[in-house]
Amino acid sequence: MDSKHEILSLLRSVAAGETAPEEALLELKTEPFADLGYAKVDFHRGVRQGAAEVVYGASKTAEQILGIAQAMGERGCRNILITRMDPEKAAFVSAGIDLEYHPDARLGIALPGPRRALGSIVVCTGGTSDQGVAEEAALTAEALGNQVTRLYDVGVAGLHRLLSNLKPLMSARCVIAVAGMEGALASVVGGLVDCPVVAVPTSVGYGASFGGLSALLAMLNSCASGCSVVNIDNGFGAGYLASMINQMEGLEES
């Protein structure tokens, strides 16, 4: 059991008399985590938070990443997100397990399987240079079961590009605005839409951008209501938060 949906499905099966309570208890009693020595893999995170554990690949060896993904796969986990993974590690992991790798986003999806496509999340960028971070956000949201629309290179230097895409923006349940330089895109989007905006400052820019700090401070000081901000280059955090917002909206409607 790696998600709330699977637990609910099991409980409904018991209520309908299709599964014996003893069988359901056996499934729920399984070990909540596995101690691999170098990692304690949390199998019940999906039950608590609605999504399986995500593997941060930057500071792990390829062998550790593969071991964690294999342990999760043995417990039925699919679409396991591995963030900040370089191509060399991806090549090693893909030799031992089915892996969908996206080099621009430095993101892998181990044991890819069927995914839901709920609601509508829009991911937009100020420029093409922000696309790697935006793809990390978009792919994360898609792996977590959301429908994603990409609007890239629609920054304020050519505002007509953004304004020509008002329909998908105004029908979204959440918008992720990814921008470097002065980070103005998030404020502009926040003034156009009636849904939450997740702003992602990127480290794109010249010297006085201070590696994304200028965009971060600008987004934090946005005068547009309903705009929240994640850390510099944190596309994963934005995609995860947008997924939670989108799927909460979906639960309310159902």
Query: pLDDT averaged over consecutive 10-residue blocks of the chain (254 residues)?
Result: 61 82 68 63 61 84 92 83 94 94 94 87 95 96 94 90 90 95 92 95 93 95 92 96 85 52
What CATH number did the domain enclosing 204 receive? 3.40.50.1970
The H-assigned helical ranges of 2-44 are 4-15, 21-28
Residue 47 is predicted with a pLDDT of 58
Tokens of 211: 């590696």
Same domain (yes/no): 105, 73:
yes
What is the DSSP code (8-state) at residue 75?
A: T
Residue at 17 is within a domain: no
Chain CA centroid to CA 44, Å = 19
**Average pLDDT for the chain:** 86
* pLDDT tens by residue, 51-88: 667 889 998 999 999 998 988 888 778 888 999 999 99
Residue at 220 is within a domain: yes
Same domain (yes/no): 241, 124:
yes
Burial class (CB within 10 angstroms; exposed 0-12, middle 13-18, buried 19+) of 13? middle
Total domains in the chain come to 2
Residue 92, phi-psi category: left (phi > 0), alpha (psi -120 to 50), beta (remainder): alpha
Residue at 2 is within a domain: no
Q: Which stretch of DSSP H or E encloses residue 175?
A: strand 174-179
Same domain (yes/no): 124, 249:
yes
Domain with 61 in it: 31-110
**Separation between Cα atoms, residue 52 and residue 73, nearest integer Å:** 11
Same domain (yes/no): 61, 105:
yes
